[in-house]
Structure 1
Amino acid sequence: MGRRFPPFAAVRAFEATARRLSVKDAADELCVTPSAVSHQIRALEEFLDTALFERRGNRLNLTFTGRAYVGKLTALLNALDETTRELNDAESELRVLCTPGFAARWLVPRLNRLPFGNAIRLRVSEGAPDTDFGRNDADVVIHWGGAPVDGLIVEPFMASNRFPVASPELIRREGLETPRDLLRVTLIHDEVMDAWDEWFRLAGMAVPSMPRGPRFPHCEIATTAAERSQGVSLAYEAMVADTLAHGSLVRLFDTVTMPVTLYAVAYPENRATHPRIRAFRDWIFAEADAARVLPRESVEPA
């Protein structure tokens, strides 16, 4: 059997009147005359062959059937409105909030492979990006780590081990040939998950006191300092692969730390089907898969 739809104008007139219990207010909302609203309601009642309102003097009340019908209609019209807005937004900017290191070393070099990369508006956060979408003015947040957040979909897409890196100039100047040589040079420390103790332990070295060196608030500053020959940094492999390929940093030694989850893509649960958010999510997973940085437990792109 084919679908049996009532006239859409009549549905809108009835739903607006039922919400407001006022023909005049419904007419103002719909930018039509009260008589036009009344006409549409009568047409709907004739279509349904039932009364939707009880009229007692100047008061308007819903019948039992009217209350049941409007409850479902409002939900349907809200869903239609949301779907239409999403389609209208599909060609608009996608606002992505992330750390400066992720933006500079991983995302920006790949954006030319995203079909709508020129519509990405990047905002960077000096610390862990804010995941309160009510105030962060973002569509997607590149979430540090993989911890769940209430009301959000959080999907880890990047894991990495760490190893020492240094500039070619510093390696020549200091003659860095063995892990023990690191004990006589400046080590650069990252305040977020500094892992020098772990690395020396895995390299088979008991270090009674860690060599002194500058401490920076996140890995991007530590990596930049290493590029400027200010010391040796313990870098995330996933974040410096391109830098190593370009030669501004060189990997030192084979020892690596255990992999940790670095980043997840996060977005509100109620926007999971937004076309651009979904496309960005799928693209970033595909890029992470190609770079072989997906955590083992990650969900494959749909």
Structure 2
Amino acid sequence: MGRQLPPFAAVRAFEAAARHRSFKKAAEELCLSPSAISHQIRALEEYLDTALFERVGNRLELTLTGRGYAGRLTGLLNGLEDSTRAIRQAGERPLRVLCTPGLAARWLVPRLDRLEFGDRVRLRVSTGAPSTDFASNDSDVVIQWSTDPTQGVVTEPLMQSNRYPVISPHLRDAEGVDRPEDLLRLRLMYDETDDAWGDWFSAAGLPDPVLPNGPVFPNCELATTAAERGQGVSLAYDSVVRGTLASGRLVRLFETVTMPMVIYSVAYPEDRASDPIIRAFRDWLFTEVARDGTGVQELSAAE
């Protein structure tokens, strides 16, 4: 059975007249005559079999039923207008994405050609933790390290990863790295964010080793870049460096890995959760991590 809906022209006329409390102003808004507005409202009242307006002296007032109906209609028409505007603008406006330099360079940019509207993505990178203050960060979507909830923001865990040592091919061949113990005589790259060399050596059967000195970087991307340039060994995130390993610029050392952890989440304003372009980008991100087997859902299923 089909929907039983009132005539849309009559609904628009009534909602405008109710909002303005004036047939004349409603007529101006809708480019109609006041008599046309009156005719549409009478048609709606006949359809509903109830009065929506009443005369109080010289004033036109909404009935109790009219007030309730007008309030619901205004919300529905506002939502319809917002959804329509979003769809019409989706083909024109860019999508502004804020993320870390490492994720942008090693994961996001190399696969943007698989995104239908990838040419409209405007990337901004953050030297620190990307801000989810959407009132000031000039972004539509943030791909961030944290999964902490923020009021007014949808935050969804996106990507999980374990870690293992990586080294440049030249340095590996020059140093003859064959056993985990060999790393203790090399220069290790450390990062301030969740450094896990101690965890990796424990997993490799070397608990509480005396770790060699090495530079400390503010994030894993700089540590991995230093290793790529032959400066030492980095403990890299598998989810992020797969493309670099495939290119041959880095090689993986040993099968031992740390326990997997969630490393990135996707965040966007709660009041824009139904925005078509944000939704499409969000869905594409989850499709990509599922393709790689690095999504949080895959981690949960494995547990």
- The AA in structure 1 aligned to 2:258 is T
For residue 62 of structure 1, what is the aligned residue in structure 2? 62
1:78 aligns with 2:78: yes
Structure 1 residues 175-254: aligned runs within 5 Å: 175-207=176-208, 209-254=210-255
For residue 128 of structure 1, what is the aligned residue in structure 2? 129
Deviation track 1:48-99 (CA, whole Å, cap 9, x = no partner) reads 4543223334433211121122122112212211221232133243222211
For residue 281 of structure 2, what is the aligned residue in structure 1? 280
- The AA in structure 1 aligned to 2:65 is T
1:110 aligns with 2:140: no
CA shift, 1:175, in A, is: 3.2
Alignment partner of 2:103: what SS?
helix
Moved more, 280-289 or 50-59: 50-59
Moved more, 65-74 or 143-152: 143-152
1:21 aligns with 2:33: no
Q: In the aligned structure 1, how far is the partner of 2:52 from the partner of 2:62?
A: 6
Q: In the aligned structure 1, how far is the partner of 2:29 from the partner of 2:270?
A: 30
Rate the CA distance shift 1:47–1:253 in 2: closer, same or farther, 3 A. closer
Q: In the aligned structure 1, how far is the partner of 2:41 from the partner of 2:210?
A: 82
Q: In the aligned structure 2, how far is the partner of 1:36 from the partner of 1:132?
A: 47
Rate the CA distance shift 1:2–1:292 in 2: closer, same or farther, 3 A. closer
Identity among equivalent positions (%) equals 63
Alignment partner of 1:19: what SS?
helix
Moved more, 9-18 or 32-41: 32-41
CA shift, 1:36, in A, is: 5.0
Q: In the aligned structure 2, how far is the partner of 1:172 from the partner of 1:84?
A: 60
Q: In the aligned structure 2, how far is the partner of 1:299 from the partner of 1:232?
A: 30
CA shift, 1:193, in A, is: 0.5
Rate the CA distance shift 1:87–1:174 in 2: closer, same or farther, 3 A. same
For residue 51 of structure 2, what is the aligned residue in structure 1? 51
Deviation track 1:195-222 (CA, whole Å, cap 9, x = no partner) reads 1111122222244543222111111111
Alignment gaps of 5+ in structure 2: none
Q: In the aligned structure 1, how far is the partner of 2:276 from the partner of 2:284?
A: 12
Q: In the aligned structure 2, how far is the partner of 1:292 from the partner of 1:251?
A: 18
- The AA in structure 1 aligned to 2:10 is A
Deviation track 1:166-186 (CA, whole Å, cap 9, x = no partner) reads 112222333333222222222
For residue 88 of structure 1, what is the aligned residue in structure 2? 88
For residue 163 of structure 2, what is the aligned residue in structure 1? 162
For residue 293 of structure 2, what is the aligned residue in structure 1? 292
Alignment partner of 1:187: what SS?
coil
Q: Does the CA contact (< 8 Å) of 1:146 and 1:263 recur in 2?
A: yes
CA shift, 1:297, in A, is: 5.8
Q: In the aligned structure 2, how far is the partner of 1:290 from the partner of 1:53?
A: 58
Rate the CA distance shift 1:31–1:143 in 2: closer, same or farther, 3 A. farther
Rate the CA distance shift 1:169–1:72 in 2: closer, same or farther, 3 A. same
CA shift, 1:109, in A, is: 0.8
For residue 11 of structure 1, what is the aligned residue in structure 2? 11
- The AA in structure 1 aligned to 2:71 is G
Q: In the aligned structure 2, how far is the partner of 1:208 from the partner of 1:44?
A: 81
Q: In the aligned structure 1, how far is the partner of 2:3 from the partner of 2:294?
A: 49
Deviation track 1:13-56 (CA, whole Å, cap 9, x = no partner) reads 32123223244544454455555544544454455454322333
Q: In the aligned structure 2, how far is the partner of 1:41 from the partner of 1:286?
A: 49
Alignment gaps of 5+ in structure 1: none
- The AA in structure 2 aligned to 1:192 is T
Moved more, 125-134 or 191-200: 125-134
Moved more, 77-86 or 28-37: 28-37
Rate the CA distance shift 1:121–1:299 in 2: closer, same or farther, 3 A. farther
Rate the CA distance shift 1:143–1:38 in 2: closer, same or farther, 3 A. same
Q: In the aligned structure 2, how far is the partner of 1:212 from the partner of 1:144?
A: 27
Q: Does the CA contact (< 8 Å) of 2:160 and 2:299 recur in 1?
A: no
